[in-house]
């Protein structure tokens, strides 16, 4: 926690992450003391206070990204998987390359992904990390927490992995072999002991997150993981219902729907959130809503893979907590929160427009233009995410909350001409210039620059790592 005192002055607009009329503040100034927001209003400078001039800037709560795969930052636009649907893409891209990663390439991928997120105004990242196999040569968790700490970001490790595979273990390469259940659980205990913080302003959390709900473990193991997670006081996360294949697989394997299967095994509740939830039946939505289960909506990845568009309006109306996740860069070549929220805003409207029965009236067609407001998107991408991650002191601009906020300066031609500048970072898309960004009161971005980050060196490392991964994947293919 920082002892620095800042006064942010003269903001053009402040959007708070709250609901209704409270979504926009009438204030122009924000005071930060001891890592928290201490005052909001029209404020006078105090002695020994650093002033940040926010003239022509709009201020948002810093984004909370609830689903990512950071290792995929070096797999953007991978040609063989570029035009594939989910199942084929999984085999073609992330699974084909996973064994090519070593400690160095993994660290570079993580660094690229976190910096890309930070430069979009994202302060909190939940990474669904599933690069685990027996006898690994590096500790991915340690690298993830280390890189996030260097950038001053909050980090949630969703510890993925599988104890079951659909292939024959003896025929699989080492990187695709499953872990043993006891080894997985021992590592969860280790990670909780080393890293987990339970407070609502935590910088580090551990989550129980098997890679797949239907395929990564037996039903007995699935149920046992829920029991252990609740004993340890950690959250639970996984992928669910991204495509119709989930419905077919759950029926074939368990004679029930995917959500029914999760409910039968204690994988619903306000300590659980699932990525995607694109293909849901009405009864499934009711179960998820009644249990206050959360969702990480990943619109760009779902569009890129041809999976569809999750119905956030219906999910929230049913009682679910909505959040936004970037997903892996191998299925989302712009893996940042501004691109993601821009897509979420547009695609919710497109979805409603496709489903609505057009009614010609007064020269206009009724469609989906009111499906989601900019204020809805901000709420989902900030306080919604904080809620599913158990960070109740994060996500809104209010007195007493953690000072996680970002000042966007909208002077690029993309934003010129806006009659309501407050909506610019989402509605106009692009990457807005960050005048300043704070995490727990610490300035982590200043004048669009991240301290101690050499972008040219990072670009060089990325190019070298991409070539190395391509060479290794080809070598492994020849061996296979």
pLDDT tens readout for residues 79-116 = 999 999 999 999 999 999 999 999 999 999 999 999 99
DSSP string, 319-368: TPEEEE----GGG-SS-SHHHHHHHHHHHHHHHHHHHS---EETTEE--S
Do 160 and 476 touch, CB atoms closer than 8 A?
A: no
How do residues 211-243 score in pLDDT, each as one tens digit?
999 999 999 999 999 999 999 999 999 999 999
Inform me whether the pLDDT recorded for 194 exceeds 80. Answer: yes
Question: What DSSP letter does each residue of 382-418 carry, written as one string?
Answer: IIIHHHHTT-TTSSS--TTSB--EEEEE--STTTTT-
The reported pLDDT for the residue numbered 68 is 98
Count Cβ atoms below 10 Å from residue 241 Cβ, excluding itself. Answer: 28
- Please, which pLDDT band fits residue 375 given cuts at 50, 70 and 90? very high
pLDDT level of residue 164 (50, 70, 90 thresholds): confident
Average pLDDT for 403-423: 97
Percent of the chain with pLDDT over 70: 95
- Which pLDDT score, from 0 to 100, does residue 176 have? 83
Angle between helices 455-479 and 103-118 (to 10 degrees): 140
pLDDT interval class at 173 (50, 70, 90):
confident
Q: Do domains 5-60+396-446 and 63-385 have the same CATH topology?
A: no
* pLDDT at position 328 over 50: yes
465 vs 109: CA distance, rounded Å: 9
Long-range Cβ contact pairs of 257-260 (< 8 A, separation 24 or more):
257/281, 257/283, 257/284, 258/213, 258/214, 258/284, 259/283, 259/284, 259/287, 259/288, 260/284, 260/287
Listed residue (70, 58, 61, 78) closest to 144, CA to CA: 70
Task: State the pTM of this model.
Answer: 0.96
Query: What would the pLDDT profile of 252-265 be if each residue is shown by its tens digit?
Result: 999 999 999 999 99
Residue count (the chain): 480
Rounded distance between C-alpha atoms, residue 44 and residue 9, angstroms: 9
CA distance 375 to 357: 26
Helices within 162-207 (DSSP H only) = 181-195
Kindly state the average pLDDT of the residues 120-146. Answer: 96
Q: Of 56-70, 85-99, 279-293, 346-360, which range is least confident? A: 346-360
pLDDT number for residue 352: 82
> CB count, 10 Å around CB of 14?
24
Q: Does residue 367 have a pLDDT over 60?
A: no
The pLDDT assigned to 1 comes to: 42
How is residue 435 written in tokens?
């005048």
The separation between CA 152 and the C-alpha centre of its own chain, rounded to angstroms, equals 17
Which of 36, 198, 80, 15 lies closest to 470 in space, CA to CA? 80
Q: What's the pLDDT score for residue 27?
A: 98
The CATH T-level fold of domain 5-60+396-446 is Urease, subunit C; domain 1 (2.30.40)
For position 353, what pLDDT does the model report? Answer: 78
Predicted confidence band of residue 365 (pLDDT cuts 50, 70, 90): very low
**Region 166-187 average pLDDT:** 80
Specify the DSSP class assigned to residue 378. Answer: H
CATH number of 63-385: 3.20.20.140
Whether residue 169 has pLDDT greater than 60: no
Mean pLDDT of 373-389: 98
Q: Confidence band (pLDDT; 50, 70, 90) for 3? A: low
Decide if pLDDT at 478 tops 80: no
> Quick one: average pLDDT of 20-40?
98
Domain boundaries, the chain: 5-60+396-446, 63-385
> Does residue 151 contact residue 115 with C-beta atoms inside 8 Å?
yes
Residue 11 Cα distances to 27, 54, 286, 441, angstroms: 8, 5, 42, 17
Mean pLDDT calculated for residue range 163-181: 75
* pLDDT bracket for residue 166 (50, 70, 90): low
**Is 364's pLDDT higher than 50?**
no
pLDDT computed for residue 260 by the predictor = 98
The share of the chain scoring above pLDDT 90, in percent, equals 90
Distance CA 208, CA 232 (A): 10
DSSP SS3 for 207? strand
Residue 476 has pLDDT above 70, yes or no: yes
**Residue 361 binned pLDDT confidence (cut-offs 50, 70, 90):** very low
């Amino acid at each position: 926690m920082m002892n620095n005192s800042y006064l942010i002055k003269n903001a053009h607009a402040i959007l708070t992450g709250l609901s209704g009329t409270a979504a926009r503040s009438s204030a122009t100034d924000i005071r930060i003391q001891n890592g928290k927001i201490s005052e909001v209003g029209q404020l006078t400078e105090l002695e020994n206070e650093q002033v940040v001039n926010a003239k022509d800037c709009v201020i948002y709560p810093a984004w909370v990204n609830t689903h990512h795969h950071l290792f995929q930052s070096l797999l953007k636009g991978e040609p063989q998987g570029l035009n594939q649907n989910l199942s084929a893409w999984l085999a073609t891209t992330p699974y084909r390359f996973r064994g090519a990663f070593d400690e160095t390439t993994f660290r570079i991928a993580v660094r690229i992904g976190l910096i890309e997120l930070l430069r979009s105004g994202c302060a909190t990242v939940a990474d669904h990390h599933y690069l685990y196999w027996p006898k690994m040569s590096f500790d991915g968790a340690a690298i993830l927490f280390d890189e996030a700490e260097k950038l001053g970001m909050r980090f949630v490790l969703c510890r993925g992995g599988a104890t079951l595979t659909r292939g024959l273990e003896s025929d699989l390469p080492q990187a695709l072999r499953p872990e043993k259940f006891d080894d997985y659980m021992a590592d969860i205990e280790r990670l909780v002991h080393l890293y987990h913080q339970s407070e609502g302003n935590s910088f580090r959390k551990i989550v129980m997150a098997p890679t797949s709900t239907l395929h990564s473990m037996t039903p007995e193991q699935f149920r046992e993981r829920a029991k252990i997670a609740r004993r340890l006081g950690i959250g639970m996360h996984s992928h669910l219902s991204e495509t119709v294949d989930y419905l077919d697989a759950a029926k074939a394997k368990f004679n029930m729907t995917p959500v029914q299967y999760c409910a039968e095994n204690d994988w619903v509740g306000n300590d659980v959130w699932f990525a995607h939830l694109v293909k849901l039946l009405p009864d499934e939505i009711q179960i998820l809503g009644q249990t206050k289960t959360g969702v990480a909506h990943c619109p760009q990845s779902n569009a890129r893979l041809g999976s569809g568009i999750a119905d956030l309006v219906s999910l929230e109306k049913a009682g679910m907590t909505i959040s936004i996740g970037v997903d892996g860069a191998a299925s989302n070549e712009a893996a940042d929160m501004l691109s993601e929220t821009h897509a979420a805003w547009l695609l919710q409207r497109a979805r409603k427009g496709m489903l609505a029965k057009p009614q010609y009236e007064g020269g206009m067609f009724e469609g989906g233009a009111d499906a989601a407001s900019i204020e809805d998107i901000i709420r989902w991408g900030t306080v919604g995410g904080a809620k599913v991650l158990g960070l109740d002191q994060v996500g809104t601009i209010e007195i007493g909350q953690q000072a996680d906020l970002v000042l966007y300066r909208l002077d690029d031609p993309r934003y010129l001409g806006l009659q309501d500048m407050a909506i610019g970072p989402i509605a106009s898309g692009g990457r807005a210039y960050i005048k300043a960004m704070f995490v727990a009161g610490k300035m982590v971005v200043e004048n669009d620059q991240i301290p101690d980050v050499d972008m040219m060196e990072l670009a060089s490392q990325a190019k070298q790592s991409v070539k190395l991964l391509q060479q290794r994947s080809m070598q492994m293919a020849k061996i296979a």
